[in-house]
Copies of this chain bind each other. A is one copy, B any other.
Amino acid sequence: MASKKAPKKNAFYAQSGGVTAVINASACGVIETARKHKDKIGKVYAGRNGIIGALTEELIDTSKESTAAIKALRHTPSGAFGSCRFKLKSLEQNLAEYERLIEVFKAHNIGYFFYNGGGDSADTCFKISQLSEKMGYPVQAIHVPKTVDNDLPITDNCPGFGSVAKYIAVSTREASFDVASMCATSTKVFILEVMGRHAGWIAAAGALASTKDTEIPIVVLFPEITFDKDKFLKKVDGLVKKHGYCTVVVSEGVMGADGKFLADQGLKDAFGHAQLGGVAPVVASIIKDGLGLKYHWGVADYLQRAARHIASKTDVDMAYAMGKAAVKFALQGHNSVMPTVDRISNKPFKWKVGMAPLSKVANVEKMMPKDFITKDGFGITDKCRTYMEPLIKGEDYPPYKDGMPQYVRLKNVAVPKKLGKFDLKK
């Protein structure tokens, strides 16, 4: 007779916050690695729409997905199980939520908690990691880093960022070639609005479009630098006079000296209705009024973070590695940690998986170092370039059928509920 062992614990995995081109590659890393350790990890249950799925007991049984479907997550953008913007309050503020989580974990024998997200999610994951100590429920909570904003501390970079950076760098190069063709008789300035409300990482990627062998006049407007209209116009004017054209990459988060977002111009339409503009048309107006130059503008918005078709191979590899490492850490008995990317060297670019305690990750926002931005405030330094260039390296094309990328949609079969309803406090 076989000796009786403690039943295997199941794992919970969820995606949180804005999705990316590679967050599903992390999911793939978690699920594939867990499947290789069926002796220790039972099923992987995914939260439908992030942590909300845990609170409402809306769990997805990933064991119902084929090997091929899970493998295809690696090349599928967006969040395959649904994501959410939801931050758990503190234990003191909302004990009911934590009690509910423990109830759900108990009902489904969940002993591993993998949370895939950015700063807010790291905070949620950290709180879950304390349940063992504070409420006596044994759970190992591991955070899997993800955010296009690249603002998590300790890790060299955040999976998701490399791909958005590649998209912005490639798009900026392509659009700049376009403007250069037209500038003699038509458009002289192209303005591209990119994400990054607090930190200029993504805007900085626009500057990667210009390299030694393909120089392009680019002006970057960082959220870290207060917008100075006169200085900006002088810069644009100088570049257009010298090169015939220039490209402006502007972060959505750029603010004026009044501390207000440049995008927030109190626009009204002809009927007096408030109009929801972006910052790109505002910059376009400033250029038109100040210099009279013909312009075009674009707003990348979701296209930039969903662009799996031009994902960075380095980024995909890192995203997968983070998911894989999270499971390994759990199997080693760790709790309250996050796998990190640790850079070993720049040339050649080498990195390894490291580990950071969540207490040092949660609620810490990594801004762009000051020495990554040029003195005039409109470009990136060599130091920044050395840091960023390896992150966009390599292509990792998805499979195509009839001209379209083949992204997987999972069956997302629900795990039968065992508990009563729970009302979310919004």
Contact = CB atoms under 8 A, between A and B. Distances in A.
B174 A309 contact: yes
Contact of A84 (B83, B186, B305, B306): B186
A369 interface: no
A405 B288 CA distance: 31
Contact of A289 (B177, B273, B402): B273
A366 B50 CA distance: 48
Q: Taking chain A's interface residues, is the majority helix, strand, or loop, or is none over half, making it mixed?
A: mixed
* Shortest Cβ-Cβ A-B pairs, 3 listed: A298-B301, A79-B181, A78-B177
Interface string A188-218: 0010100000000000000011010010000
A86 interface: yes
Contact of A174 (B83, B171, B303): B303
Given A77-B178, A177-B77, A181-B15, A298 B303 contact: yes
19 contacts: A19-B178, A52-B185, A79-B181, A83-B182, A173-B407, A177-B306, A214-B404, A266-B269, A267-B270, A268-B268, A275-B285, A278-B281, A281-B281, A298-B299, A298-B301, A298-B303, A312-B403, A393-B403, A395-B400
Q: How many copies of this kind of chain does the complex include?
A: 2
B404 A211 contact: yes
A176 to B, nearest CB: 8
Contacts of A166: 403
Interface string A165-176: 010011101110
Contacts of A171: 303, 306-307
Contacts of A389: 402-403
B266 A275 contact: no
Interface string A274-295: 1111101110110011000000
Residue among A181, A190, A282, A296 with most chain B CB within 10 A:
A181
Contact of A296 (B208, B265, B281, B301): B301
